[in-house]
Amino acid sequence: MTFVLKDNEKQYILNEKIGKGATCECYLGQKMNEETSKILAIKVFQEKYYQFYSNEISFLSKLNDNENIIRLISYGKGVLTPKINKENNNNNNPDNKIVYYQVLEYASNGELKDYVNGTSSRIPENISAKLFIRIVYAVKYLHENGIAHCDLKPENILLDNYFNPKINDFGFSQKFDGKHGDYLIHKSSGTPNYSSPDVRHAFTKGYNGIKNDIFSLGVLLFVITIGEFPFVTPTFSDEKYRFIIKRQFDRFWRFFNHIKISDEFKDLINKLISLNPATRLTTDEILKHPWLIKQLGLNYNEDNNYVINEVYDKELIEEFNSRKRWI
């Protein structure tokens, strides 16, 4: 069904539904009455989910200058109504709903999860490195701006026309300094498969949101490159993660002996999904890790930052285009 979204002078036509989450629905849309209006992604929140909507706005409105974070174009409160006729004289329709909405840039190649789950071949390490470094730079930018994402996973990484990643969904994000100024988060959030063991202590000791993001980056990189989860839950009862806890890394990696994995990749993963938050790498340390240096041939510039050789990456585009047939 096609909908019209009205907010005073702004009107949008909502066509195909392209996603549905726990708190919102996402549609392909366009501004009405504009012949050359570009395609937009429009997220619609019911009134009862205002807190999630508001939380996302509070962060996204400050993050519009990073190419690897989804760009917020507009937002507000409006009336969502089924489009019945050309005049759309439909103000008294009982199906009308008061909603909150976000207008976002449209990432035309969808969610990263569709390219890494259920495919018949693994993404080569040099290609996953091309994708991963862009995600790390975006997370580094978040952390430098005092924000912990708290729900990094393939479902929340969108891909644009050139398969550049765009971090999305800031509904669970938190300020780095914590609610009480103690640099800790006292609220359980995120997705269990990607969350660190620290989150279990949210309501007692609290946890460091940035260190939790680093753990999530480790699981994310593993899933992108290996095509499966490194463990079920990061607890001692998990048959795989227990060896991470005991720092018996060789025994952990035996579970994946059937896969050819570089030693540098193993070392990076070990240092990202460590039980102890204090021993996990920072984003700067990730960018200096031998795995990225080897896979991408990175060099420093005068500002001591790594330079990505190509923004339009032919190998990345070819690899992900070849995976579209599985979607």
Do both 37 and 120 map to the same domain? no
Q: Are residues 61 and 180 in the same domain?
A: no
CA distance 162 to 308: 15
> Do 121 and 225 belong together in one domain?
yes
Q: Do 117 and 92 sit in the same domain of this protein?
A: no
Lowest mean pLDDT among 113-127, 166-180, 260-274, 293-307: 293-307
Predicted TM-score (pTM) above 0.95: no
Domain limit, last residue, from 57, 81, 105: 105
pLDDT attached to residue 224: 97
Predicted confidence (pLDDT) per residue in 235-265, tens digit: 999 999 999 999 999 999 999 999 999 999 9
Looking at the fold, whether 134 and 27 belong to one and the same domain comes out as no
Whether residue 182 sits in one domain with residue 97: no
- 151 in catalytic set: yes
CATH of the domain at 226: 1.10.510.10
Structurally, the chain folds into a number of domains equal to 2
- Look up the domain containing 270 and give its range: 113-326
Q: How confident is the model at residue 35 (pLDDT cuts 50, 70, 90)?
A: low
Same domain, 230 and 144: yes
What is the pLDDT averaged over residues 203-221? Answer: 94
Q: How many other CB atoms are found less than 10 A from the CB of residue 64? A: 12
Quick one: 141 and 254 in the same domain?
Answer: yes
Query: Is residue 173 domain-shared with residue 78, that is, in the same domain?
Result: no
CATH code, domain carrying 53: 3.30.200.20
Judgement on whether residues 167 and 101 belong to the same structural domain of the protein: no
Same domain, 120 and 98: no
Q: Is residue 127 domain-shared with residue 246, that is, in the same domain?
A: yes
Compute the distance between CA of residue 262 and CA of residue 291 in angstroms, rounded to an integer. Answer: 8
Choosing from 7, 65, 95, 151, the catalytic residue is: 151
Q: What is the pLDDT of residues 61-92, one digit of tens each?
A: 999 889 999 999 999 999 999 976 555 555 66
> Which of 47, 79, 105 is the last residue in one of the domains?
105
Q: Which of 105, 121, 154 is the last residue of a domain?
A: 105
